[in-house]
Structure 1
Amino acid sequence: MTALNLDLMDPKSFADGVPYEHFRHLRDSAPVSRGTDTDGEPLWHVVRHRDVSAVSRDARTFSSSPTTMTSIRKVDPSPPIITFLDGAEHTRVRKLTFKVFAPARLAALRAPIRGIVDSLLEEARDKGEFDLAEDIALRLPFEVLLELLDIPRQDRATMLGWARRTVNLGDQEYGDDAGPNPFQQIHAYLHDFAHHRAAHPADDCFSLLLDARLDGAERLGLPDRLTPDEVGLFASTLITAGIETTYCSVTGGVLALLDHPDQLARLREDRGMLPSAAAEVLRWVTPVTHFARRAVTDTEIAGQPVAAGEKVVVWYSSANRDERVFTDPDRFDLGRTPNPQLSFGGGGPHVCIGNGLAVLELREFLDGVADLLPRLELVEAPARPETNFMNSVKHLHVRLH
């Protein structure tokens, strides 16, 4: 397909990676353009940084309900996860779950996360040849999150199998639509575990969530605590969404560093660059390519009228390469500053609640892997899943030399 007729809702359009040239064409000539979802629903594509940020921040005009998903990931939004809530209901869940990601709690996780990173890298060294996507990129966030949630170790291998399918949903290698839904399998397990913790409290994340209370909830006419059902739903969202960002960032970051040895040399010489390096990896990769919003009232975006009820798709992959904001955006620069990348949702009330944890995981990984990368070489070209939702690599076979 050419840059003029590409269907952004067709996962096949991303088979060779994000179509950056097409997005560049749209930013220049059609920053808000018409499209159609895979089920025939009309929509608007929004591709410039300024407009993606504005839509993301304006939750009153652009709603996340009933779903932010498109294409093959458009699933039944009932019960609604935090991502699909707006207004007071969204604020309630966000405030009641904030303690899981409080700065002090994240600081306490740094050493355990580094331990997981070092253990995974040591396993990789012992193998000599391995799949970095499967053996490290998927397992790192999964093991961190299951440690955070204190999931029994005997159940973790089963859950990892479900998680593999969620991050590659729609790819035939991981099962067809006729099989059990991996999201529902994860949700069912964590739903039951939340009810178990409600009856048998412990010093863990589930009990923390169940014990949380929201001051002023009565004024809003909302419950002041999360039910076990809500805790199970939040935990399942945390698992599925929390894995994706790091899964993509690790594989994409490794490929970028292998392709840009000058930048790898900078990082190896100066670990003080880790904060800006992580931000640049997130901009460069942009793990989640897009989300959808629905206009609540008649409005306009960049002068284009948008009617109430119409779907708007904001493309973070395009916004993060917008030459109006980033100098030389197609250059991978670990020292880039400023770097207003939108990889965690463009700001506003729906900014990713776990972004601090994801950044921490990425920084610890980059720190741990930097001295190993000069010894890595690709065994074969990276294999990408068939998806337009994530900028991911499902297999990245490498060897040590």
Structure 2
Amino acid sequence: MRELDLMDARAFAGGVPHDYFRELRARPGLHRAYDADGFPFWYLVRHADVVRASRDNDTFRSAPSTMTSVRQDSTGLPLISFLDAPEHTRLRRLAFKGFTPARLAALEKPVARIVRRILDDVAAAGEFDLAEDVALRLPLEVLAELVGVPEAERPQVIEWTRHTVNLGDPDYHHSTPERASAAFVHLMAYFEELVLRRRTDPGDDLFSVLLAAGSEETGRLQAEEIALLATTLMGAGSETTYCSITGGTLALLQHPEQLAALRADRELVPTAVEEIVRWVTPATHFARQVHQDTEIAGQPLAAGERVVLWYSSANRDEAAFTHPERFDVARRPNPHVSFGGGGPHVCIGRGLAALELRLFLAAFLDRLPRLELTEEPVRTATNFMNSYRRMRVRFR
């Protein structure tokens, strides 16, 4: 059987190597692989295995990093995605106060206005970059609204955030690591100052909610913790939506019969959102540390070993999905693992991402049939995010 180095971004240059993942799923046991420095991993490529590792946080830990290399945690800060219980539990319970169904419902009208404004701008331009002008701009403006950044300060905050977004590709936007690091520092300082403002002048925004959240059991979030949550949210939250909009729009253009079905029945929009997220799988993988001896697919795993959860593979697993190779906007059920396979680390912002995608699709449906690519989309040079750095389109 052939071997493909999935740790090499070049393996994803033409898209996610789904044929190879199919081969790996068919092999018995687990596949052994190594990173560029020879560090070993076990690959989890089946849906059931990814779900199990996602939900069993006693055995599979996030610390010290969910990246395939601990060296990729360059901030030195306690990012919530790199933490485990009990600290992760405390932060998550408090942070979730800003993402309740009621909070998301209150965001529906503001998000719809942002979507309409962006689409009006690109429609007037006629030809534009869907990646830069829509897919990145939309989540950045929505997240600034969620956090409560004053209108006059949003352009600067969004500009800083643009430099922290790299989709796993260090050359994305031609930003240097130094520039990205400086932008991160600026964002942290800005959000810490905004926390101080909200202490004396609370509003109806995420910062005010987080400041009010807490109890004797969980304690209260400190200014630095809120600033770090906001900075992480602005970057990571943008990337997931970015990938879904670019990949989802491309899928609809490449499957005109699905686009026609969606236009004919707008009730399919919610299931279409879930199918786009499955089909695209924005984050292709995350890593976990084996905390105690266990076994998966007949393979013993020792404490201290590392596993990679390949969500892109799990979302095309024949054992979990009927005709997984088909893009089907009416797919039910759809147990995708794009926001994590359940458990304590499932994405806290998944409801917000679904809201953005739903409102984007609802507003864009009437314009999509007149949309066409003007050149071949350019993928990001990464094996981490399934994304495009440029997608030039125009309205006919």
Q: Normalising by structure 1, what TM-score?
A: 0.93
Alignment check: 8 A CA contact 1:66 1:77 kept: no
Deviation at 1:301, TM superposition (A): 1.4
CA distance in 2, matches of 1:195, 1:102: 24
Q: Residue deviations 1:135-190, cap 9 Å, x none?
A: 11001111111011111334333333343342334126422335442444433432
Question: What are the residue-to-residue correspondences of 1:42-121 with 2, within 5 Å?
Answer: 42-70=40-68, 74-76=72-74, 78-121=76-119
Alignment check: 8 A CA contact 1:187 1:236 kept: yes
CA distance in 2, matches of 1:205, 1:172: 29
Whether 1:337 aligns to 2:332 is: yes
Question: What are the residue-to-residue correspondences of 1:290-329 with 2, within 5 Å?
Answer: 290-329=285-324
The number of aligned residues is: 393
Q: Which amino acid aligns with 1:105?
A: R
Deviation at 1:17, TM superposition (A): 1.3
Which of 32, 35, 42 is matched with 1:34 structurally? 32
Q: Which amino acid aligns with 2:198?
A: R
Q: Which amino acid aligns with 1:177?
A: P
CA distance in 1, matches of 2:157, 2:378: 23
Whether 1:356 aligns to 2:351 is: yes
Alignment check: 8 A CA contact 1:96 1:214 kept: no
Alignment check: 8 A CA contact 2:295 2:301 kept: yes
CA distance in 2, matches of 1:48, 1:103: 31
Alignment check: 8 A CA contact 1:375 1:400 kept: yes
Deviation at 1:66, TM superposition (A): 1.1
Query: What's 2:121 paired with?
Result: 123
Call closer, same or farther: CA 1:242–1:124 in 2, change over 3 Å: same
Call closer, same or farther: CA 1:269–1:361 in 2, change over 3 Å: same
Whether 1:191 aligns to 2:192 is: yes
Q: Residue deviations 1:268-317, cap 9 Å, x none?
A: 01110111111100100001101111010111111111111111110000
Greater shift, 196-205 or 331-340, is seen at 196-205
Query: What's 1:254 paired with?
Result: 249
Question: What are the residue-to-residue correspondences of 1:250-289 with 2, within 5 Å?
Answer: 250-289=245-284
Query: What's 2:386 paired with?
Result: 391
Query: What's 1:220 paired with?
Result: none
Greater shift, 180-189 or 33-42, is seen at 180-189
CA distance in 2, matches of 1:91, 1:387: 31
Question: What are the residue-to-residue correspondences of 1:203-218 with 2, within 5 Å?
Answer: 203-217=204-218
Q: Residue deviations 1:78-133, cap 9 Å, x none?
A: 32111111112111111111121111111111111111111111111100000011
Q: Which amino acid aligns with 2:212?
A: D
CA distance in 1, matches of 2:249, 2:72: 30
Whether 1:372 aligns to 2:367 is: yes
CA distance in 2, matches of 1:376, 1:296: 49
Q: Which amino acid aligns with 1:167?
A: N
Query: What's 2:174 paired with?
Result: 174
Greater shift, 38-47 or 256-265, is seen at 38-47
Q: Residue deviations 1:337-371, cap 9 Å, x none?
A: 11100000111011001111111111111111111
Which of 14, 23, 26 is matched with 1:25 structurally? 23
Call closer, same or farther: CA 1:191–1:274 in 2, change over 3 Å: same
CA distance in 2, matches of 1:72, 1:58: 21
Percentage identity across paired residues of the two chains:
54
Call closer, same or farther: CA 1:201–1:294 in 2, change over 3 Å: same
Deviation at 1:213, TM superposition (A): 1.3
Q: Which amino acid aligns with 2:217?
A: G
CA distance in 2, matches of 1:73, 1:346: 25
Greater shift, 290-299 or 157-166, is seen at 157-166
Q: Residue deviations 1:6-32, cap 9 Å, x none?
A: 111112221211111111111111552
Call closer, same or farther: CA 1:185–1:16 in 2, change over 3 Å: farther
Call closer, same or farther: CA 1:273–1:198 in 2, change over 3 Å: same
Alignment check: 8 A CA contact 1:66 1:80 kept: no
CA distance in 2, matches of 1:17, 1:163: 26
CA RMSD across the alignment: 1.8
CA distance in 2, matches of 1:127, 1:96: 42
Q: Residue deviations 1:47-86, cap 9 Å, x none?
A: 0000000000100100011110125981236321111111
CA distance in 1, matches of 2:92, 2:54: 17
Which of 140, 161, 164 is matched with 2:162 structurally? 164
Unmatched 5+ residue regions in structure 1? Answer: 218-223
Call closer, same or farther: CA 1:42–1:103 in 2, change over 3 Å: same
Unmatched 5+ residue regions in structure 2? Answer: none
